[in-house]
Structure 1
Amino acid sequence: MTEDASSSGHLSQGGLDLRLDRNGAFAREISLDGEELFRGIGFVVRDVNWGTADLPAEARLQRQEGRVTATAGGALDRSAGDLTWSVAWTVTDRMVEARARASSASGFDTNRTGFVVLHSLGAARGRPVAVTHSDGRVEETRFPELVSPHQPFFDIAAMEYETAAGHRLRLAFEGEVFETEDQRNWTDASYKTYCRPLARPYPYRIEPSSTVEQLVRLEILSRATAAPHAPGDGPAVRKTAPFPVLGTSLPPGPVTLTQADAIRALGLGFTAIEIDPSEPSWLEEARAKVAAAAGPLRIDIRGAAVGTRAILEALAPTLVDRPAIGVSLWDADDAAVAAAREILPGTVIGAGTGAFFTELNRTTRWPAADYLAWTSNPTVHGSDDDTIGETTEPLEEILASAKAKLPVRRLQIGPMTLGLRYNPNATSPEGRRRSAAPDPRQGQVIAAAWVAGTVAGFLDPDVETLAFFEPSGPKGLIADDGAWTPAGHLLSRLSRCCAGRPASVLRWTGHPRLCGLQIEMNDHDALCIAHLRNERVAVALPEGIWRSAEELTPTGFVDRPVDGFDIGPFAVCWLLRPR
Structure 2
Amino acid sequence: MKPSILRTGTAIEEPPKRLLTAGPLEATLDAGALRWVRWDNVEILRGISFLVRTPGWGTPSPVITDLEIDEQATGFDVRYNAYFGEAGKGVLARIRLEGRASGHLEASAEIHADAPFSTNRTGFVILHPLLGFAGTEVEVEHAASGARKLVIPLPISPGQPVMDMRAIAHSPRAGLRVSTQFEGDVFEMEDHRNWSDASFKTYSRPIGLPYPYWLEPGAPVRQSVTITITDTGLGGTVEDPVAVPALGAQVLPDYALPLDRLDDATEALRFADALAELRPARILLRHDFARGDTTAAAGDLAELLRRTGASLEVQAILNGNDAATAEAELAQFSADLKAAGIAVSEIAAFAKIDEQSFQPGEARPPHLGETELSAALAAAFPESRRGGGSPAFFTEFNRKRPTPALADYLTFATTPVLHAADDASVAETLQSLPHILHSATALADGRPLAVGPVGIGARLNPYGPGPSDNQPEERTGMAARDPRQRGLFAAAWHVGYLARLAPWGLERFAFGAATGPFGLVASRQPYAREGWDALPDGSVYPLFHVARWISAAAGGRVLSASTQGNLAQVVWEKAGRKRALFANLSDAPLSVELDQGDASGRLLDEDSLKTAALDREAFSALQPLESTIRLGAYGVLHVEYGIAT
Cα pair distance change 1:210/1:293, threshold 3 Å: farther
Secondary structure in structure 1 of the residue aligned to 2:441: helix
Separation (CA, whole Å) in 2 of partners of 1:80 and 1:184: 37
Tell me, yes or no, if structure 1 residue 317 matches structure 2 residue 381.
Answer: no
CA contact (8 A) 1:124 1:164 kept: no
Alpha-carbon offset, residue 483 of structure 1: 1.5
- Give CA deviations for 1:202-252 in whole Å, capped at 9, x if unaligned: 22222234333211111112254225479xxxxx97675111111221224
Task: Within 5 Å, give how 1:69-218 maps onto structure 2.
Answer: 69-78=77-86, 81-93=89-101, 94-135=103-144, 137-164=146-173, 166-218=175-227
CA distance in 1, matches of 2:285, 2:543: 20
Match of 1:488 in 2: 544
Q: Report deviation, 1:363.
A: 2.1
Aligned to 1:547: 599
1:466 aligns with 2:509: yes
Residue 411 (structure 2) pairs with residue 373 (structure 1) = yes
Q: Which deviates more, 102-111 or 562-571?
A: 562-571
Whether 1:31 and 2:38 are equivalent positions in the alignment is: yes
What does 1:429-468 correspond to in 2, within 5 Å?
429=465, 436-460=479-503, 462-468=505-511
Q: How far did 1:402 drift?
A: 1.4
Supply the distance in 2 between the matched residues of 1:111 and 1:494 (Cα, whole angstroms): 41
Select 2:76's aligned residue among 60, 68, 71. Answer: 68
Distance 1:375 1:399, change over 3 A: same
Are 1:354 and 2:391 matched, yes or no? yes
Call closer, same or farther: CA 1:344–1:118 in 2, change over 3 Å.
Answer: same
Q: Which amino acid aligns with 1:15?
A: P
Aligned to 1:308: 326
SS of 1:147 mapped into structure 2: coil
Cα 1:172–1:569 shift into 2, 3 Å: farther
Shift of 1:538: 4.1
Identity %: 29
> Residues 547-566 of structure 1 correspond to what in structure 2 (within 5 A)?
547-553=599-605, 554-555=609-610, 556=612, 561-566=625-630
Aligned to 1:3: none
**Which of 435, 443, 453 is residue 415 of structure 1 equivalent to?**
453
Write the letter of the residue equivalent to 2:541: T
Question: Secondary structure at the residue paired with 1:409?
Answer: coil
- CA drift of 1:417 comes to 2.1
Q: What RMSD in Å do the two structures reach over aligned CA positions?
A: 2.9
> Counterpart of 2:282?
270
2:84–2:90 CA contact under 8 A, matched in 1? yes
Question: SS at the partner of 2:64?
Answer: coil
- Across the two proteins, how many residue pairs are aligned to each other? 562
Contact 2:393 2:414 in 1 (8 A): yes
Instruction: Name the CA distance, whole Å, in 1 between partners of 2:467 and 2:383.
Output: 37
CA contact (8 A) 1:393 1:512 kept: no
Judged with a 3 Å threshold, the aligned counterparts in structure 2 of structure 1 residues 401 and 335 are, in CA distance, closer, same or farther, namely same
| Structure 2 CA distance for aligned equivalents of residues 143 and 302 of structure 1 | 35
**Structure 1 counterpart of 2:603, which letter?**
E
* 2:597–2:627 Cα contact (<8 Å) kept: no
Which residue does 1:233 correspond to in 2? none
Residues 1:576 and 2:640 aligned together: yes
Aligned to 2:56: 49
Aligned partners of 2:376, 2:347: CA distance in 1, in Å?
Answer: 12
Q: Do the aligned partners of 2:144 and 2:164 also contact (CA within 8 Å) in 1?
A: no
Deviations 1:356-378 (A, max 9, x none): 11111122453612211111111
Alignment partner for residue 558 of structure 2, among 499, 503, 507?
503
Structure 1, unaligned runs of 5 or more? 1-5, 231-235
Alignment-derived partner of residue 479 in structure 1: 522
Cα distance in 1 for partners of 2:184, 2:320 equals: 43
Q: Is the 8 A contact 2:88 2:114 kept in 1?
A: no
Does 2:412 match 1:397?
A: no
8 Å contact from structure 1 (residues 11, 18) kept in 2: yes
Q: 1:256 to 1:289 in 2, by over 3 A?
A: closer
Shift of 1:506: 2.6
- Equivalent residue for 1:328? 348
Query: In structure 2, what residue type is equivalent to 1:522?
Result: A
- Partner of 1:298 in structure 2? 313
Aligned partners of 1:46 and 1:112 also within 8 Å: yes
Query: Is the CA contact 2:28–2:37 (under 8 Å) kept in the aligned structure 1?
Result: yes
Aligned with 1:490: secondary structure? Answer: helix
CA distance in structure 2 between the partners assigned to 1:119 and 1:315 by the alignment: 47
Q: Work out the CA distance in 1 between the residues paired with 2:156 and 2:448.
A: 19
Report SS of the residue matched to 1:419: coil
SS at match of 2:391: coil
Letter in 2 for 1:420: A
Going from structure 1 to structure 2, the CA distance change for 1:74 and 1:272 (only over 3 Å counts) comes to same
Q: Which amino acid aligns with 2:335?
A: P
Moved more, 317-326 or 36-45: 317-326
Inter-partner Cα distance in structure 1 for 2:232 and 2:633: 31
Q: Residue type of the partner of 1:456?
A: A
1:240–1:386: structure 2 CA closer, same or farther, 3 Å change rule?
Answer: farther
Q: Do the aligned partners of residues 165 and 430 (structure 1) sit closer, same or farther apart at CA in structure 2, a change above 3 Å counting? A: same
Q: Give the letter for the 1:451 counterpart.
A: H
Alignment-derived partner of residue 533 in structure 1: 586
Say if 1:534 and 1:486 are closer, same or farther in 2 by CA, change over 3 A: same
Q: Would you say the 8 A contact 2:172–2:238 is kept in 1?
A: no
Q: 1:124 to 1:536 in 2, by over 3 A?
A: farther
- Partners of 1:527 and 1:269 lie apart in 2 by 20
Distance 2:19 2:506 in 1: 41
The SS at the match of 1:57 is strand
Range with greater deviation from structure 2 (118-127 or 284-293): 284-293
User: Per-residue deviation at 1:487?
Assistant: 0.8
Amino acid at match of 1:19: T
TM-score (norm 1): 0.89
In structure 1, what is the Cα distance between the partners aligned to 2:182 and 2:373? 47
Structure whose residues are more often strand by fraction: 1
- TM-score (ref. length: structure 2): 0.81
Shift of 1:70: 0.9
Q: Report how far residue 530 of structure 1 moved.
A: 1.9
SS at match of 2:19: strand
What is the CA-CA distance between 1:46 and the residue it aligns to? Answer: 1.7
Aligned residue type for 1:437: A
| Larger deviation, residues 130-139 vs 247-256 | 247-256
What amino acid is the match of 2:42? E
C-alpha spacing 1:251/1:485, structure 2 compared with 1 (3 Å): same
Per-residue deviation at 1:576?
A: 2.4
Say whether the 8 Å CA contact 2:44–2:178 is kept in structure 1.
no
Distance 1:253 1:50 in 2: 31
Kept in 1, the 8 Å contact 2:194–2:436? The answer is yes
Q: Contact between 1:546 and 1:575, CA under 8 Å: does it hold in 2?
A: no
- The one-letter amino acid of 1:526's match is R
Q: Which amino acid aligns with 2:291?
A: E
Any idea what the Cα deviations from partners look like across 1:292-332, whole Å, max 9, x if unmatched? 55432111122467442132122112322424331121345
Residues in 2 aligned to 1:163 and 1:56: alpha-carbon distance in whole angstroms: 34
- What is the rounded CA distance, in whole Å, between the counterparts of 2:221 and 2:228 in structure 1? 23
Residues 387-441 of structure 1 show CA distances to partners (whole Å, capped at 9, x for unaligned) of 1111111212211211222345122111112112111122xx5679997331111
Cα-to-partner distance string for 1:508-551 (whole Å, 9 max, x where unaligned) = 6xx3543211120334311101232344444454x433522432
Alignment check: 8 A CA contact 1:41 1:118 kept: yes
> Aligned-pair distance for 1:460?
4.8
Alpha-carbon distance between aligned partners in 2 of 1:122 and 1:334, rounded to the nearest angstrom: 39
Cα distance change of structure 1 residues 102 and 461 upon mapping to structure 2, 3 Å threshold: closer
Q: CA deviation at 1:43?
A: 0.9
SS in 1 for 2:392: coil
1:89 maps to amino acid: L
Q: For residues 269 and 90 of structure 1, do their structure 2 counterparts lie closer, same or farther at Cα, with a shift above 3 Å needed?
A: same
Q: Helix, strand or coil for the counterpart of 2:514?
A: strand
| Distance in 2 between residues matched to 1:133 and 1:374, nearest whole Å | 35
The 1-side partners of 2:48 and 2:302 are apart by: 47
**Residues 397, 430 of structure 1: alpha-carbon distance in 2 compared, 3 angstrom cutoff:** closer
